[in-house]
Structure 1
Amino acid sequence: MEHYTKRLLNPFNGTVQVIADTEIRALSFNARDWELQFRCDSPKGVRYARIGTWCRQTGFKPYPLPPDIDVAAVEIAHSKMLGALQSAPALLVQDDTYELWLLDQTQQLPLALLASCRRQDEMSAATVRALWKAVTSNQLQLANTPEEERRGAPPVSYRVEECVKSRAGQNPRAAWFQRLPDRSAYRVQGDVVLPECLPAEHFPEFLLREDWKSATEQALCHRYLQRLSPRLLVLQHLSHAARDRLEQMACHHALDVADYFHLYPDIADQQRMTALRVEARLRSSLLPD
C-alpha cells in the first residue's frame, strides 16, 4: 500500500490523504473520514467505483455496489484496505515533490504554484494552463472594505489573480521543478533533470510570491494570504519562521484554525494556538443552534 498526502492546487484548497494499491484506494480531505474506491477497468478506460466510507469511530459503511462489479474481488481488496486504514498514522507524508510553477516575466523565477505530482512520469498527465487561480472571495469569506464597496472594486481574490497575471506577462510561462529535502530544486524538462540547482529561497513557502512593487499589490497579496493562513498551515514543509508567521496571520480566524488544527503537522507557538482553540470553543458556544 502507498500512503501519501497531496496538495489540492490551482487554487490551493488544502490537501487530500491517500492510501492506495493497484486495486483500491481510500481518500480523505480531513484525515478522519475516508471514502473507499475500487478500480474498475473497461474498454472505455479506468474508473473508480465508490464502495463505502470508513472512519475510526463508526467503522466501514458500504455503498450499494454497481451490478457489473466483481463482489468477491471488492471484498478481498476492502478487507486489506481496512487493515491499512486502522494502522495508518494520523497524517500521511506529503511527497508531491514535482512542482509546476508559474514564472514571473522579468526574472523567470517561481511566482505561483500551479500543480504538483509525486513522480516524474506523472508530469505529462498534469496538463495545466499557465494561469494561476485564487480561492474565490466568497469561499474565503474575504470581503471588500466599505471604501472598496463604495467605489465598486472587484473582489479581493479576483484582484490578486490580476496582479499575478500581470506579473507573469502576456506570454506566461511555467516550469517543472523537483524539490529536494532542503527545499532547493532542479528544473525538469520532460525526462531530463537540468543540472542547475535553484536555491530554496526562490520558492515562496506560501505558494505565492509576497514581494510586490506597489503598496496596493502588496496589501492585496497580504490580505489574501492572511485569510488563507488557517489552510496554509496544513503544509508539511514550512520552515519554523514561516509557520510562526502564518500562525500570527491566522490569529483573526480562530474558528477556521479549530477546523483545520488536527491537520497541522507542527506548531510554532503552542500557547498561541491553544488560546485560539479556546477562543473558537467559546465563540462556537455562543452560536445559535
Structure 2
Amino acid sequence: MKRILPFLLVLCILLGGCSTAKTNDKLKITTTVFPAYDFLREIAAGVDAELNMLIAPGMEVHGFETTLEDIALVSSSDLFVCVGGEDDEWVENIPETETKIVTLSSMVGPCEDDHYWTSPKNAITITEKLCENLCDVDPENAATYKENTQKYIEELKKLDSGFAETVKNGKTNTVVFAERFPFYHMANDYGLEYHSAFEGCSTETEAGIKVINQLIETIEKENISVVFTIEFSDNTVADRISSETGAQVLLMHSCHNVTEEEFESGETYLSLMTKNLENLKIALG
C-alpha cells in the first residue's frame, strides 16, 4: 500500500467529495485485508452491521494504492482494522475522525513478517482483541460478539492443535517453497524449518538458477516429497523443481487475500487453513 499525499486528503475534504459523517445508525466496520474481514464476519454474525474490505478479492495486496473513496469509507466507519507497519503508513494521514482505528500488529507485536494470521495461535489472539474493540464501539451487542467469539475460538484451537500435532508427528519438519515465504509465524510457532526462493515477502518474482538449484539439492538431500507454492503464483519455479525432483506441487495459502472465485464460493480463513493443514500433513509425512 502506498502512502497517499496529505494534500490530496485536504483537497478531498475541501471539495466536499468525501463525507466523514455517518449517514445511518448501522454499525460500519472496515478492514484492509481478508483475514481481519473474515474474523470480524464471524464475530459480528447475527448483528446488523456493514462490513467492508478495502482490498478487493483478486487484487494483489502489495500493489494496493489507497483512493480518496477508501479514505472516505474509513473516516465514516465506526471501526477500522488494518495490519499496521510500513504498508499502512497512509493511515497516519487520515483526517481527524471518530473512527476507532486498530492494527493487527498492535495485537500480537510488530514483526518484519506481517502475515500474523498464518499462525492459528495469533489468529486466536487477534480474534479476542477484535471482539474487545467491537464491544467498545457497540456495547449493545457485546453479548453476541462474545458468544460468537467463544465459538469461533474453539474452532481456531482445533486448528492450532492440528498444526502442532502434524509437525510433532511428521517424519520431517522441513518444508520447501518455490516462492517468497510469508509464513514466518507459522514456522516459528510450530517448529518448522524452511527453504524458500525468496526471503519473507520479497517483491522479487524471478528466482535465479543458483537459487533453484539450491532448492533442488535440498529436496534431494533431505528426501522431501513436496514443493510448496502460494496463492496468485503462476507456479513456474515450482513446476520446474517438480520436474527435476518428482516432488509434488501443493498450495500453501497465506490468506492475505483470496480470488474472486474463492470469495464467491464462501472460502474462509478456517477453510483455507484447514486445506493448508492437510497439505502440510502430506509434506511432512
Length-normalised TM-score, structure 2: 0.27
Please identify which structure carries the higher helix content: 2
Length-normalised TM-score, structure 1: 0.26
Please identify which structure carries the higher strand content: 1
